[in-house]
A and B are shown apart, each in its own frame.
Chain A
């Protein structure tokens, strides 16, 4: 096959898997808790800044992972307790409050690091030859890691007893409480896990994009579009949504350039929001 086409296919795969990784955290908090977290992108941004801090300190890149989990998990915990919990089942107020949170986190990052673009050195620099094409090793590794994390999470959710309890809690919280399930604690855990996933995604993309306080904004919007297109509450939905949005974005970028791609994604998302707000695979 034409090496150029293979490169493009890998680019599309890369775009889709990283987007899925970011959308996953949002899908967990939105789909399971019904919390529309507009600050999800800022957790990605914090993860990226963790990578930046580690990079500037000259420490090994992998150290950014525990740091991001700590920072994003910790902030997620505080946010759930102080901001999200009082507003459960008030989607409108949650929207505004998390919008405020996103503003706060952005301004904090701005105050700490300035508005400029920062770069993080790419770990695993160099390329790997695949099907006769040279492709950046780091990107290849990321594709594999993303697929592995997503598959592991889905497998865990589908087969573990904890996954069963989460499904029970989401479907019928009153009955879950009657059975003694600690619904509030599960909700907190779920939110923290979603935040950690975002942070992890931030670390992963940090070496490939300019790191700046507004980094999360595009990601959160695209992730919302993924959920909107795919529909909430199903694994298939996240996959389908990422396929449509990520695929469209990557393909259009390859064919016409990133601006046109962004434009197309926005238009498709608006059409879905307007005409089919429950998405392709919504159930119930």
Chain B
């Protein structure tokens, strides 16, 4: 069963189609990296996949079920976790509450592994999440999303503002989980991070796919050409 697939998806805001007829899929244990300059529609594509924006055309399938017009909270129930690019945490809640809010018994035992890798989070458990730096918020969001332990994970620019050592640890965690069969869709601008995890690339420009293929078939130069100014 394919965790997430989408075919001929178009959509956007108001009168504007930001994303135009994009298709792709990610198999279990694989990472699909979506790259492209800002403003080309990467985040919009994720919002279409997660149900925050309606698709004007095309089909999104999550864990074998057609998502149709399902609300985001329903899609999560199909087996996909999402860490958004903007406002990635609950600013008004403490770091501990951010992690505990959807855990059944409200305990943080399941996060031990993450605390060992990102000790900064454990140190700040009592702090209001709104007071964290941008990079720390991203770590918190990443930790919360990965710990949900669902078959598919969607990450929107997870490394924005995160320092390199922690970026490498994030890559390690993703690669561990890949081995366990989790599928990832990652929107990323940091090419070095993408190279650590990607199995497939989907390179976007002007809302369309300009290049797609396996990691092995696409060289760094091809991607850089589409990323830089």
Contact = CB atoms under 8 A, between A and B. Distances in A.
Contacts of A161: 101, 106
Interface string B77-106: 100011110011111110001001110001
Interface residues of B, number: 24
Contacts of A180: 73, 76-77, 102
A181 B72 CA distance: 9
Contact of B72 (A164, A171, A172, A177): A177
Given A161-B106, A174-B52, A179 B91 contact: no
A34 to B, nearest CB: 15
B102 A171 contact: no
B71 interface: yes
A175 interface: yes
A171 B92 contact: yes
Nearest to B81: A178
A75 B207 CA distance: 47
B170 interface: no
Interface in B87-138: 87-93, 97, 100-102, 106
B87 A174 contact: yes
Contacts of B77: 180
Given A168-B93, A171-B92, A179 B76 contact: yes
Nearest to B51: A177
Main secondary structure of the interface of A (DSSP, over half): helix
B93 A178 contact: no
A168 B101 contact: yes
B88 A175 contact: yes
Given A168-B101, A172-B87, A178-B82, A183 B73 contact: yes
19 contacts: A164-B97, A168-B93, A168-B97, A171-B90, A171-B92, A171-B93, A172-B89, A174-B84, A174-B87, A175-B87, A175-B90, A176-B90, A177-B76, A178-B50, A178-B72, A178-B73, A178-B82, A180-B73, A181-B102
Interface of A: 161, 164-165, 167-168, 171-172, 174-184
Given A168-B97, A172-B89, A178-B50, 17 more contacts: A164-B101, A168-B92, A168-B101, A171-B90, A171-B91, A171-B92, A174-B52, A174-B72, A174-B84, A177-B52, A177-B73, A178-B72, A179-B73, A180-B73, A180-B77, A180-B102, A181-B102
